Amino acid sequence: MEEHIQVIKKMNIGKVQENVSLKNHTSYKVGGIASLFAYPTNAKALIKLLKYLKENNIKYKILGNGSNTLFSDQPYEGVIIKLDQFNSVHIEGNIIKVGAGYQLMKLAQQAARKGLAGLEFATGIPGTVGGAVYMNAGAYKSDMGYIVKRVKVLTPDYRVITMTNRELNFHYRSSFFQTHRQYICLEATLGLIKGDKEEISKVNTERRKRRVESQPLEYPSAGSVFRNPGNLYAGKLIEDIGLKGLTKGGAQISLKHANFVINLGNAKASDIKELIEFTKEAVKDQYDIDLKIEQEFVNWE
């Protein structure tokens, strides 16, 4: 891997960093050491990097804010690609064109200041635009699928194409990208609606207060662990079988919200994973409900 790192460093694709701890790039604050982090400056640089990685069979992962990802404690012997430089934003009327690396919460705040409604659900989602499109992130009965008009996408054969909302197959916490992992979101065009600035601000303030009261924001976590099954709430199912507060090593099922697993400060990735899997099995045994894990497990092979 070392010789490949030296080649990549000379490719002039943008900033690269060796031996980076994933603890500093994931919201759980766990994970091993990645051989290389790369920050391509544009699509051309990204394509150049991807071609080299694929031709040399080097493992890679596109990573947003790491807010929905659980890396193992083992070294990640490959390249983590960050699209932080894809951060342009252009707002014209009620249309927003924004790069995949732009922070979703920051965008939601900008939209609110301009009196644009439709992004209120995103004020508490600590991800990037690209990550949010990938996951079809949402809250309060809304999600990205409601507002994305089209997405600029890099295909596996290195073409940059535009895909429409219909083609992106948005459903509850899922999208085209989850079943076509070689496709990469580069930019999204969102369609919002004109609203009242004060009303939007009021909604955002109320939801921020509700989050603080109901979610363990003082601890590292990755938000809701499980998707809500149908009209039921995963957190209530977990709480009703007495798992609130269950601890494994430095990880705990939150006492504030049972659908959160938190890092009490010294958790290993394996503590978190074991707690998630135990909870999933316990709910299955009790209710015969197979909870779907929202978070992505990476480097557990």
**Residue 42 contacts residue 49 (beta carbons within 8 Å):** no
What are the φ and ψ backbone dihedral angles of 22, each rounded to 5 degrees? -70, -15
How many of the other CB atoms lie within 10 Å of CB of 209?
10
- In this structure, are strands 60-63 and 76-82 parallel, antiparallel, or unpaired? parallel
**Residue 107 contacts residue 96 (beta carbons within 8 Å):** yes
Catalytic residue among 173, 187, 221, 254: 173
Q: Which residues pair with 17 in a beta bridge?
A: 37
Catalytic residue among 67, 175, 221, 294: 294
Helix (H, G, I), strand (E, B) or coil at 5: helix
Give the Cα separation of 135 and 63 in Å (integer): 12
How many of the other CB atoms lie within 10 Å of CB of 135?
23
Alpha-carbon separation of residue 23 from 93, 104, 143 (angstroms): 39, 21, 28
Cα-based torsion angle of the residue sequence 295, 297, 298, 299 in order, rounded to the nearest 10 degrees: 160
Catalytic residue among 67, 72, 175, 224: 224
* Closest CA relative to residue 228, chosen from 173, 273, 175, 171: 173
Active site residue 35: no
**Residue 185 contacts residue 81 (beta carbons within 8 Å):** no
H helix count then E strand count, the chain: 8, 18
- What interhelical angle do 2-9 and 43-55 show, nearest 10? 160
What are the φ and ψ backbone dihedral angles of 275, each rounded to 5 degrees? -70, -40
Tokens coding 98 = 């924004």
How many of the other CB atoms lie within 10 Å of CB of 177?
23
Active site residue 2: no
Active site residue 173: yes
- The catalytic residues are 173, 224, 294
